[in-house]
Amino acid sequence: MSVLEDLRRALPELSSREARAARHLMANYPMAGLTTVAEFASQSGVSTATVLRLVKRLGFPVYADFQEALRSHIEETLQSPLLRFGERKVRDEAAQASFLARTSNRMAEHFRALPELISEKEFDRVATLLADPKRDIHLLGGRYSSHVARYMGDLLTAVRGKVHPIGGQTQSWPQCLLDMGRGSVLVVLDVRRYQADVVQFAHAASQRGATVVLLTDIWQSPAARSADLVLTFPVESPSIFDVLTVGMGVAEALVGAAASKADTTGKRRIETLEDLRSRLAEGAFAQGQVKPKNMRDR
């Protein structure tokens, strides 16, 4: 079993700081672990003591043994005829396939890789937070990822209340921090090129006691240093642009999982929403028409 597999297995049981170092190594595997302890710690945003605790949790008494395991894995990988054949086959196919076919194949590969990138326990913890009606949910994204954040907020609103997508100019963002506290959840979407204002907002929300959930690419936004939970996804494609296709899929999966955890209140909310949609489509709210079921005479 490789160090990477050990990391994925151990991740749900790690402390928040150990998990931060583990995610950095997973996102930059294996090179992050081949630096010095101090460099590994600095790049992960944790202390050297945390890195050494992580290494011991993985079964290595000293850091040198850990690095030797990483080097051995590199040698095995480079010497694998199957891997070299696979890479050559991919290149040959890419040269012949259409752009649409290459894009479809890459997205399929990305979705198949998600179970390896995202811990089931961490995914479930995020879904549980989103389903908790006692918590207020805030969603923030960057220049392009904000579209995913708003879409995620729209879907969540059908299941529960107290959902607040954050938009507009950054000068208005401090107002969104006013009501954030220990019962708040901030969902942040930030992919390369990472936005300093989004990173700073995540840090500010964390300082106010909010639980910060970060959805980011496999290289991880600097907002990971303020996040309690981090879910990563691939963004590479044959295009000159990074894509948010897989990130959208993760967002939809989280909302679906949250909906499956919704109590009877969530179910009644969806029923009321469907009733309102039907009545609006039928023009039932026109002046002089029948009032909706839940509207009382004043």
Decide the pairing of beta strands 211-217 and 136-141. Answer: unpaired
Residue 291 — φ and ψ, nearest 5°?
Answer: -75, 155
Last residue of a domain, one of 78, 110, 140: 78
**Tell me: the pLDDT tens digits for 164-195?**
999 988 999 999 999 999 999 999 999 988 89
Give the number of C-alpha atoms closer than 13 A to the C-alpha of residue 101, restricted to the C-beta side. 7
CATH classification at residue 32: 1.10.10.10
**Tell me: the pLDDT tens digits for 69-90?**
888 877 665 554 444 444 445 5
Q: Give the integer Cα–Cα distance in Å for 7 and 25.
A: 9
Same domain, yes or no: 60 and 173: no
Q: Domain limits at 212?
A: 120-262
Cis before 193 (ω within 30): yes
Q: Is 92 inside a domain boundary?
A: no
**Tell me: the pLDDT tens digits for 100-138?**
999 999 999 999 989 888 888 899 999 999 999 999 999
